[in-house]
Amino acid sequence: MSVDQKSSLSYKRIKSLARYACVFSVLGVIISIGTIAYYSVLMLMDTQAVDAAIREEFVAAGRAITINGVSRALTFMFEITPVLIGVYIFSQAIQLFREYMSGRVFTFEAAKKLNKIGWAVAALAPLEILSETLAVMALTIYNPPGQRQLSIGISETEIYAIILGLLLVTLAKILHEAAVISEENQAII
């Protein structure tokens, strides 16, 4: 098999993989937006169900909480923030995979999209920690003195997100250099 045939086969595989990844990224956006919409409607229509979900998540961890309109709204806002970052990551991924499906692999645009995805993934970890901390504060701020809580926790999942995000940023820098080389090669031809 010649070098050109191998290269053509590699691009076909990239396009095929990018097509599947794009579909899953679109599904990610739909599911994420659907989840936000569902809980938004639920907050307006059935606050008892929302309160039960809040209690299930936060009281199970041994916290005494006070739920009212303000704490419910703040908790919702803090809890959906990582989901919104997820929507951003999926939307950037869709654009990146469309680049790949068009055969544009070693481009500055692809490097830029991958860089944005990497920083957003790395930002998810501290945002998740912060949103959880702020949600606990919102739910305990109306508690009597001595029962208010501040909860900060980090798990291996947050560490994985930071490492994965930085790995993607590094790959974006490598892709940028590959785009420079590709552009130089095109100028020679």
> pLDDT band for position 151 (50/70/90)?
confident
For residue range 118-148, list pLDDT tens digits in order.
999 999 989 999 998 898 888 888 888 877 7
| C-alpha angle 21-165-88 in degrees, rounded to nearest 5 | 55
pLDDT of residue 53: 85
Query: What is the rounded CA–CA span in Å between residue 175 and residue 169?
Result: 10
- In angstroms and rounded to an integer, the radius of gyration of the C-alpha atoms of the chain is 22
Q: Would you say residue 57 has pLDDT above 90?
A: no
| C-alpha angle 98-100-105 in degrees, rounded to nearest 5 | 140
Cα dihedral sign, 44-50-51-57:
negative
Residue whose entry in the numeric block shows the structure tokens 């041994």: 62
Q: Residue 34, exposed/middle/buried by CB under 10 A (0-12, 13-18, 19+)? A: exposed
Q: Which of 52-66, 93-107, 113-127, 129-143 has the lowest mean pLDDT?
A: 52-66
Query: What is the rounded CA–CA span in Å between residue 137 and residue 12?
Result: 51
Query: What is the rounded CA–CA span in Å between residue 161 and residue 180?
Result: 29
Q: For a pLDDT cut of 70, what percent of the chain falls above it?
A: 94
- Closest among 134, 4, 25, 159 to 71, alpha carbons compared: 134
pLDDT of residue 64: 82
Q: 35 — phi, psi (to 5°)?
A: -65, -45
pTM of the model: 0.84
- Closest among 102, 112, 94, 86 to 175, alpha carbons compared: 112
